[in-house]
């Protein structure tokens, strides 16, 4: 009916407004709701929630408050990365996509990135999360350790010829970011190894990978069902 369409349209406009101009109350609701999530709710909730938290941080003068909210959110959803079931890769990929949006990282991301038996979409999202690490969320005392460890892991993935070419390229993209690799600071040996490994795959066809995303309307509807 026309009234139903009007209501749906208003909800979509409201959703777009919330995405662009999130209030402090909405952010608090998101963090509270994330602590109560079931696995079934994760795919429809966490990516949009991350988008809102990212917008909130961008608009805030007080970055500490925004960062604290993001860390609370990460802590709540991190449980869904532990021992992911083979039939729940959509849950794992959704959490990793949320991590990547926000620039957060933990050891579970590394474990998933290192697992060459994981579904291809999980490997992609794990490597993409590493690619988008923001040092705002990495303790200064741990930065060198994490950077060095990830350099070693990503180079290993890149050099492993049994990996799909797409995975090797994703590893290269993750390596060649400001947090992971700084040519002016890091050992030149790493740069030489990178160049050699990349030259081996440049002329090879990439494995074509298709990723399927839910429609935005479905995501928005599911998201607001969770926080209501």
Question: If you write DSSP's letter for every residue of 11-30 in order, what string do you get?
Answer: HHHHHHHHHHS--HHHHHHH
The CA distance from 63 to 58, in Å, is: 8
Place of tokens 């990282």: 105
DSSP letter, residue 79: G
Q: Is the pLDDT of residue 207 over 90?
A: no
Over range 129-151, report the average pLDDT. Answer: 92
The predicted structure's pLDDT at residue 137: 92
pLDDT for 23 equals 86
Instruction: Answer whether residue 58 shows pLDDT above 70.
Output: yes
Read off the pLDDT of residues 82-137 as tens digits, 9 standing for 90 and up. 866 666 789 999 999 999 999 999 999 999 999 999 999 999 999 999 999 999 89
Q: What angle do CA 115, 167, 219 make, to 5 degrees?
A: 85
pLDDT value for 97 = 97
| 65 pLDDT more than 80 | yes
**For residues 10-24, average pLDDT:** 60
- Predicted local confidence at residue 14, as pLDDT: 45
**Residues 174/172/119/103 CA torsion (nearest 10 deg):** 10
- Which distant-in-sequence residues (6+ apart) come within 8 Å of 40 by Cβ? none
């Amino acid at each position: 009916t026309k009234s139903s369409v009007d209501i749906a349209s208003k909800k979509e406009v409201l959703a777009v407004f919330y995405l662009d101009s999130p209030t402090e109350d909405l952010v608090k609701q998101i963090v509270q709701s994330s602590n109560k999530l079931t696995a079934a709710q994760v795919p429809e909730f966490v990516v949009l929630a991350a988008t809102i938290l990212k917008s909130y941080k961008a608009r805030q003068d007080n970055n500490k408050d925004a960062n604290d909210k993001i860390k609370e959110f990460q802590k709540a959803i991190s449980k869904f990365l532990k021992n992911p079931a083979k039939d729940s890769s959509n849950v794992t990929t959704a959490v990793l996509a949320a991590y990547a949006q926000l620039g957060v990282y933990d050891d579970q991301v590394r474990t998933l990135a290192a697992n060459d038996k994981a579904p291809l979409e999980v490997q992609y999202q794990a490597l993409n999360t590493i690619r988008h690490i923001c040092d705002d969320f990495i303790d200064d005392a741990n930065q060198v350790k994490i950077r060095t460890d990830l350099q070693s892991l990503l180079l290993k993935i890149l050099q492993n010829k049994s990996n799909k070419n797409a995975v090797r390229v994703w590893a290269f993209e993750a390596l060649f970011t400001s947090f992971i690799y700084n040519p002016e600071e890091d050992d030149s040996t790493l740069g030489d190894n990178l160049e050699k490994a990349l030259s081996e795959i440049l002329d090879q066809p990439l494995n074509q990978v298709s990723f399927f995303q839910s429609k935005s309307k479905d995501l928005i509807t599911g998201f607001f069902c969770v926080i209501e």
